[in-house]
Structure 1
Amino acid sequence: MFDRDVNYPTAVASYDDEGVDAAIDWCCEHLEDGDILTVWTSLKSNLRNCSQLEQLVVRHSNVEHVTGRGGGFVHGRGPVLMAWADMDDIGKLTRYGGQRIRALCVITWNDDAIRPWVSAVRPTVLGDDSAWKDLTPALDPVVVEAMKRLTQTVNHNNTISAGFEKDMVVSTLLALHDAEVRMDGEAIQGWALANGWSGKNPERLAQYVKDINAGKRPRCRRVLRADYIEVISPRFWFVC
């Protein structure tokens, strides 16, 4: 019901001269006539930390600098270059700019902060690729199937902190936990971002998982059948 496919190309670049130059070139390759190249940093002052990016913004009229603190809105269609973002930042940017993003490249600052996203998206690697030799272990197939069904069921314009969306998300995660299916909050957040979840919902999803793994049981109305996990398990599909 709610199609959340991420259909634009993605890349991840190392934070060194080679990686930054490659990131800029990659974004420019995805520019089309009339496009704006959006450069994102958390704070306005962050741009001064990288001369290549600062010169890119200053010298070109079709390059716009936006900040996470200012909302991070993507005002024009085109590629987006996020410098030193984490997964929460990616979710917030795509919440309001998703339809305008033609391509997305993230320059790293803390490899582990986006490793689950890189593991799920498998972006083009620019610059030094040594950080990505080891990726986050794959999610259990039952978790993936449950997440696919959630993605198609919940209204992503709503928060998953209340209402039907919370009931669906928490019921599903509790069912997985009670069936002793292993869940990794950050890996699930990375999967969610790769599959079109945006805003704070991927972050909230990861927090629910962490809380449940710690023994908490968030309150919700039961909305799933008792044998839900058995029914959605790929192992069950091949049983006569």
Structure 2
Amino acid sequence: MNSLLLIDDDMELCELLGDYLHGEGFDTESVHNPMVGVTRAVSGQHDLVVLDVMMPELNGFEVLRRIRAASQIPVLMLTARGEDVDRIVGLEIGADDYLPKPFNSRELVARIRAILRRTETGEPTPSKAGESISISDVVINVGGRSVLCNGKPLDLTSIEYSILEVLMRMAGKVVSREELAEKAMGRKHSAYERSLDVHICSLRKKLGTHSLYGERIKTVRNMGYLYVLST
């Protein structure tokens, strides 16, 4: 049973969500104080955090920054409907996904399960235990879900890692936004949603440019993204 941490000052919502998520097979802990939420999130006792943006004393963005300073636990943020800026800021800080309020409980569960599918490796299969993907100075350790760039480890969120793995496996070929969202994010891509673009932008910054061929991930207009093969 996966353990979820709910960080939200709305006690009634947490109680309702806790009951619903338990019925869906999740173990939940609710925390209503942001600072306590940070402590519990980095404790290593949970598989995923559901974090509300609007909280007193310490908002969700600052909570996420403090979590990311110590842990790469997956975080799904709950944002006010229509607040695109909030969603983009959350993704840039390191959220794995977001869901606007009010939301459908079934969609929340679907988003949670999609994130967990990306991040759970369990016991690696023999084929993946020692598998690596290497293109120039970027090396992915598939079994350990870790990345080296120019010999240095990259600090990627779970969704950034998944996007990079999909692109590197298909290096030299254009991957459509729809295919990338489905394979890396576990859901369909909406033409009006910018989350995939924000994750790609963050990946580019962390990877940096190559000394010979420049940008590693190129945008192909009206088609998708392409990971550049070195020549």
TM-score normalised to structure 1 length: 0.33
Larger Rg: 1
Q: Which has the higher contact order (CA 8 A, sep 6+)?
A: 1
> TM-score with structure 2 length normalisation?
0.34
